[in-house]
Structure 1
């Protein structure tokens, strides 16, 4: 963890001394290792007080970007500004940031309160002010009654909250989190996602959160940054990214998507391609359609523009997932509410599409 808040500022108390949230700006940010390009020219703006999630597959450069913001990785080129001030070359301990690592790095010989107060003691904050700030943070993460326990006696989720409280204790303007929930089981991850989002909203701290989990990013973030091969593929609100993906990679990476190409049909021009060309024209002849944006009808008349044959039905409780053969190289995926009475395999159905929910894609295949 690193933070530039002075002891004098912290001595004024957690309210008066709290650092204001600051935005993060990246311009042409690059990192190479020999001839290998880890990050290849990233431009990005994160507003102050926002929860931004950097999302992408393993090896896309997201953790490297986070490390450069925090000062733990030296950029090969480009600029990093926090609160409008350049920080390239500034050591981690002098940046207005704190970091929660994937491994947490808690001190097993200290109590919960001792871990949270560690950074304050290092910065020379007087004992009374440090104790007050520690109590405030433990209440924030709902660990007040466990203040005197050893961290080895805590559950995984409780240890996560200790790490977050320790990072927030030094009142950073920007909190950086590198996949901190990856070691937790699915149910605990969901609980921690809710708690993390609540903490961010209550503190108004700028969060920059790295993950490869799409649902995690969607459930917490104000802004999602999708990275691919060291570059930003798309950045925007979760709704914008999901409903208006720009490329096939974004469409497929963030949830399920039917990606239709003019060349993906088994015939030269299948009905769905003809319909899309007429209703949603695009120079690239590539479209993305979310499974829930498709309507199936059980009475396909000869006049139906698109007809298909059900090839698979899967029940998930809240939803029903269909795979429908419509003449493309891959089955068309459709989801409907789970209480829907299913059509059987081999049933012939009509396939309805709302052109307002079909997205014309840019670029080539993912």
Structure 2
């Protein structure tokens, strides 16, 4: 999938071809079509003067089979690849959107591959697919289960990663998961809740695991009971299903949900069972999606700056393309606790 500026879609069989063909370029340059193909793919078995004639013919006729001609002439393809997993999820979709916009601002087109699963096999296939499209650099967003040992990336290809297990092996950008989680838990404890229950994300998610770890640490540091986390899958449906269990437990007065969608499902489940947010149960989410402001009541949440994350990812690629070596570099983007009407002091459940 190409987000903009990619190759034209194939035309239906039998239609008249629009634009010059590889044969037109060959005739203009006085070479064979095979030679034009070798120049287009960057092969090194072409004489320099012949290569130049072919490039001149391509430019004169407006022929661009792919980005190879630009790379040969200008030293870059003008394109970056993006590998994402589950674009329906808020974090992935908003990060991709931000990367595309930041790339556009720097004059790059983008090619996106959304892998069906975070397995090493699917990611390997995605890397190969993008490599064939001729890219200058690669952004990997949430390669959940793959590791540097299980995923082979092209040598010398600039790579930037976001919140994945490649942090420390490639330049990385991520939100301040620790600071955001601490802010959420301390906010609820500061309101007087005895402890905070947690609707966690899936175990294979690196950000979800950081939030679980920091939530536990914060409760232990405050000498509070640490309940078992309730595992969801980031969806509102899972938040709703877990919310039924929360509603049946009178000990629960405060819940930190690992994302805003699960918080929304939780709030509906509580409402349907006659419990009020925040009077009976206070709720905090994570992500800061625009819709959270319009929940009822408006959701207290930890806002991530997805736009800044996208800008930083593209900036890391640009620095590598300029020759900077920065394998273990990591940029941490601050988060912000946005307090709204879904949290308050403990009510009748806390008495």
Return the TM-score normalized by structure 2: 0.29
More helix by share: 2
More strand by share: 1
